Amino acid sequence: MLKKTLWLFLFWAPLVGAIMVGVRLYYNIYSWQYAGEEKIFKISPGEGFSSINYRLGKEGLISSTKTFHRYAQFKEIMTKFKSGHFKIPSKTNMDSLINILILGAPVTARVTIPEGKNIFEIGKILEAQGIVSYEQFIRYAKDANFAEHLGVSAERIEGYLYPDTYQFSPESTPPQVIQAMVRRFNEKTANLDFSVTSLSKHQVVTLASIVEKETGASSERPVIAGVFWNRLIKKMRLQSDPTTIYGIYENFNGNLRKADLLASTPYNTYTTSDLPIGPICNPGVEAISAVLSPARHNYLFFVSQNDGHHVFTERYKDHLAAVNKFQKERANRVGKSWRDLHKSSDGSAEK
């Protein structure tokens, strides 16, 4: 009797224990669920499994760090966790959590950089979206060595941060953000033939940035590019207000004065008879294409009609007449919006 009891104990006790362990493991992996609100969990680049496991347990995202360790070991995934920010929904079990951290896409911040924004404006947009700090972004954007590293031989990266919509990880660094935008620039301009002009590629981008700032109407870009080309050929100063503003941008209060037009900066085209030292904003591919294929005409002047379009003239006296009409007559300056006045047949505003 004693032998039979001992045999039953030796056989059944381990079996019952194994069953209980199995039940416990199943509960921890599949049945137990994270009960809190949706949470963002960050895995840093190079972070090891032990740290990830510890923090998951501390934040209550798993039921047992010991079970998580054994399960990850069993599935041979201890070195397969990706860095990034991951969204963990409420009622997530351990198995689903592993799929999120290994197979899921990290949370990214969507940001749109409009055409014609300069590095200072882009820095503020990125900071407002919580992607990078303004100060750090500007430091790298103005670093000539970093620009050279990215294939841009210039004093700063201005002009090569392509305006587009991006998805950046919250832990992105300024160099990573800038590199992504320069990569997009190279992709967007890969099919453009920069050899069709006597200007260098950097000069083309520089002139394109001026064209971009001078008009929001796509139909006018080749015409305005043609005006600047005519001026360059005649050795005339470009006299573009946006170049003057860029040269003093960090101290500009929004009011362009006569003294500013006379200020000597490497960007002021009122004081230099050539192109600025570099771009004054980041142009889109349409503005760059306009410089490579400018409209052929004899215009040397243009003035805004205050509705997003311009009056183009060949002679200075005609230009002065246009200035008097559209800039000095109050009735022609008040309450106009090119988005309202210039509509296409389908009702959308011209870009």
pLDDT recorded at residue 62: 93
Q: How far is CA 195 from the centre of its chain?
A: 28
pLDDT recorded at residue 10: 52
pLDDT recorded at residue 343: 41
What is the per-residue pLDDT across 126-181, written as a single tens digit (0 to 9) for each?
A: 999 889 999 999 999 999 999 999 999 999 999 999 999 999 987 789 999 999 99
Task: Kindly list the structural domains of the chain, giving each domain's residue range(s) and its CATH number in brackets, ordered by start.
Answer: 109-188 (3.30.1490.480), 201-341 (no CATH)
Higher pLDDT among residues 32 and 333, named by residue: 32
The CA distance from 150 to 140, in Å, is: 11
Q: Which two tokens stand for residue 51?
A: 């740290």
pLDDT recorded at residue 7: 52
In the chain, pLDDT over 90 holds for what percent of residues? 66
- Name the residue among 300, 295, 293, 302 with its Cα closest to residue 315: 300
What is the per-residue pLDDT across 76-120, written as a single tens digit (0 to 9) for each?
A: 999 999 888 889 999 999 999 999 999 988 888 899 999 999 999
Q: Quick check: 163 and 117 in contact, CB under 8 A? A: yes
Q: Determine the straight-line distance between the first and last CA of the chain, rounded to whole angstroms.
A: 96
pLDDT band at 336 (very low <50, low <70, confident <90, very high): low
pLDDT band at 330 (very low <50, low <70, confident <90, very high): low
